């Protein structure tokens, strides 16, 4: 039926053309709208890069100020939506909380469900950017059994988010510029990565003309898996397990190489990068800086570096061209900031949100877009008669 090639994991299939992000996996190059990731991480901010990804060009100072202001004005959640959190156990994984909360959020904006009305798409873009961080912080607060704070819209995007996570009614949140900048940079590094599993999910769901809330919620679920965004959480669990078991790093690496119990070196390897992930380089530098600035020495960082060193010199990893990816060192920084391990992938989701929105919008604006519908190679039974009874 016109099926030309079977391609498990879409290793060879381009599902779309896109102008958003360029990656050269052999050279370790990543660019958003043509701008090298290193320059953006050094000189830009999360919201400026969000604008760049979504609208295609860097904003003017006025455009950026208006964008920032609009997002600040949309941070409040409907009071009723807060009851949603009460219905969940405090042990709920925050990725499950935020994806369901986004689906729930859409019910407050039935008029926002049309994917074709540009004004509604614009409003939904702003609402998602403003409200996802608030929902994420509430998921964190819920797990701690602490009261939710209202957003303080005098604060910038990242500070507002940090305050919602770490401030309490009793104590005002003290902003720390080192942490604010470090989180801003990490969010920039996560903003887009072309047709990764979660972005492809957003596009596939969006191709049915499902709305942006539903599409992003699906993207969050795709991101949650340990082979994708969930890897940052899995890295810290792996490091903690090595530390607690007393197993030597060398022995752990041997188990990975022998594929014992399917154990993998989490935070290593990438479908596209067959060279050092450029984001991992920046994150590693940032981990050193942040911990130094905070005066923290975390044995987990030393353990991660030892693991990396051993792996990079080992033939198993060399032959397969496995290098640290973005998730290898981020957890150490998030931990130093005070986030629990289960929040790590949520931070990835907040970072990736502008990319998901940019791709959903690009797809919906493209007249070539069709509903996504992969083919299959049928390997089941031939026709047979239902038994007479």
CA–CA gap between residue 321 and residue 276 (Å, rounded): 9
Residue range at the interface with ligand CMC (CB under 6 A); choices 121-129, 210-218, 281-289, 324-332? 324-332
Burial label, 372 (beta-carbon count in 10 A; 0-12, 13-18, 19+):
middle
**Strands across the sheet containing 29-32:** 21-24, 29-32, 35-36
Is residue 52 part of the contact set for ligand CMC (CB under 6 A)? no
Is residue 264 part of the contact set for ligand CMC (CB under 6 A)? yes
Here the tokens at position 214 are: 């539903």
Q: Which is nearer to ligand CMC, 127 or 270 (CB)?
A: 270
Min separation Cβ 55 and ligand CMC, Å: 25
Is residue 227 part of the contact set for ligand CMC (CB under 6 A)? yes
Number of residues that bind ligand CMC (CB under 6 A): 20
Q: Which of 162, 231, 287, 300 binds ligand CMC (CB under 6 A)?
A: 231
Cα separations in angstroms, 217 against 1, 97, 124, 299, 345: 33, 10, 13, 35, 14
Cα separations in angstroms, 157 against 31, 73, 126, 200: 23, 11, 13, 27
Q: Which is nearer to ligand CMC, 11 or 87 (CB)?
A: 11
Here the tokens at position 126 are: 């702003």
Is residue 162 part of the contact set for ligand CMC (CB under 6 A)? no
Is residue 350 part of the contact set for ligand CMC (CB under 6 A)? no
Min separation Cβ 98 and ligand CMC, Å: 16
Q: Are 36 and 52 in contact (CB under 8 A)?
A: no
Is residue 343 part of the contact set for ligand CMC (CB under 6 A)? no
Residue showing the smallest CB distance to ligand CMC in the complex: 269
Is residue 196 part of the contact set for ligand CMC (CB under 6 A)? yes
* Alpha helices by DSSP H, the chain: 37-43, 46-55, 61-73, 81-86, 94-106, 118-144, 157-166, 177-190, 197-206, 212-223, 231-245, 249-257, 278-294, 299-312, 315-319, 327-337, 344-365
Here the tokens at position 179 are: 């942490």
Q: Which is nearer to ligand CMC, 156 or 225 (CB)?
A: 225
Residue range at the interface with ligand CMC (CB under 6 A); choices 19-27, 42-50, 171-179, 269-277? 269-277
Q: Are 99 and 217 in contact (CB under 8 A)?
A: yes
What is the per-residue burial (b if ≥16 Cβ within 10 Å, else e) of 77-90?
beeebeebbeebee
Is residue 9 part of the contact set for ligand CMC (CB under 6 A)? yes
CA–CA gap between residue 346 and residue 97 (Å, rounded): 10
Active site residues: 270, 327
Is residue 270 part of the contact set for ligand CMC (CB under 6 A)? yes
For residue 75, the cross-strand partners are: none
Q: Which is nearer to ligand CMC, 166 or 317 (CB)?
A: 317
Is residue 274 part of the contact set for ligand CMC (CB under 6 A)? no
Is residue 262 part of the contact set for ligand CMC (CB under 6 A)? no
Q: Are 284 and 241 in contact (CB under 8 A)?
A: no
Is residue 320 part of the contact set for ligand CMC (CB under 6 A)? yes
Q: Which is nearer to ligand CMC, 67 or 328 (CB)?
A: 328
- Residues 6+ positions from 3 with CB-CB distance below 8 Å: 375, 376, 377
Q: Are 46 and 158 in contact (CB under 8 A)?
A: yes
Is residue 324 part of the contact set for ligand CMC (CB under 6 A)? no
Is residue 256 part of the contact set for ligand CMC (CB under 6 A)? yes
Q: Which is nearer to ligand CMC, 107 or 248 (CB)?
A: 248
Min separation Cβ 283 and ligand CMC, Å: 11
Min separation Cβ 21 and ligand CMC, Å: 13
Is residue 327 part of the contact set for ligand CMC (CB under 6 A)? yes
Is residue 352 part of the contact set for ligand CMC (CB under 6 A)? no
Is residue 326 part of the contact set for ligand CMC (CB under 6 A)? yes
Is residue 167 part of the contact set for ligand CMC (CB under 6 A)? no
The residue whose two tokens read 């992000």 is: 21
Q: Are 147 and 141 in contact (CB under 8 A)?
A: yes
Which residues contribute to the site for ligand CMC (CB under 6 A)? 9, 196, 227-229, 231, 256, 264-271, 320, 322, 325-327
């Amino acid at each position: 039926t016109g099926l030309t090639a079977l391609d498990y994991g879409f290793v060879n299939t381009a599902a779309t053309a896109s102008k958003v992000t360029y990656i050269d996996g052999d050279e370790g190059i990543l660019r958003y709208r043509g701008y090298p990731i290193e320059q953006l991480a050094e000189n830009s901010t999360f919201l400026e890069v969000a604008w760049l990804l979504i609208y295609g060009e860097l904003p003017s100072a006025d455009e950026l100020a208006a964008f920032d202001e609009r997002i600040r004005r949309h941070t409040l959640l409907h009071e009723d939506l807060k009851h949603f959190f009460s219905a969940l156990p405090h042990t709920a994984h925050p990725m499950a909380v935020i994806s369901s909360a986004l689906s729930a959020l859409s019910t407050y904006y039935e008029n926002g469900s049309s994917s074709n009305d540009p004004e509604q798409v614009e409003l939904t873009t702003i609402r998602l950017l403003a409200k996802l961080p608030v929902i994420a912080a509430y998921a964190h607060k819920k797990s701690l059994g602490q009261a939710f704070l209202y957003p303080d819209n005098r604060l910038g995007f990242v500070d507002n988010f940090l305050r919602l996570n770490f401030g309490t009614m009793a104590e005002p949140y003290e902003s720390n510029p080192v942490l604010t900048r470090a989180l801003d940079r990490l969010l920039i590094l996560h903003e887009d990565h072309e047709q990764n599993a979660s972005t492809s999910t957003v596009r596939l769901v969006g191709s049915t003309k499902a709305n942006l809330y539903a599409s992003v919620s699906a993207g969050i679920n795709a991101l949650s898996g340990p082979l994708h965004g969930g890897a940052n959480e899995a890295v810290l669990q792996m490091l903690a397990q090595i530390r607690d078991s007393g197993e030597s790093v060398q022995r752990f690496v041997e188990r990975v190489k022998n594929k014992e119990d399917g154990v993998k070196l989490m935070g290593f390897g990438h479908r596209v990068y067959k060279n050092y992930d450029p984001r991992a380089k920046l994150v590693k530098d940032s981990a050193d800086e942040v911990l130094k600035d905070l005066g923290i020495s975390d044995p987990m960082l030393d353990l991660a570096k030892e693991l990396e060193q051993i792996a990079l010199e080992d033939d198993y990893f060399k032959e397969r061209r496995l290098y640290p990816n973005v998730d290898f060192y981020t957890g150490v920084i998030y931990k130093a900031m005070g986030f629990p391990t289960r929040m790590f992938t949520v931070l990835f989701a907040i970072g990736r949100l502008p990319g998901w929105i940019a791709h959903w919008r690009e797809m919906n604006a493209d007249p070539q877009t069709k509903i996504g519908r992969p083919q299959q190679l049928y390997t089941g039974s031939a026709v047979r008669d239902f038994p007479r009874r």
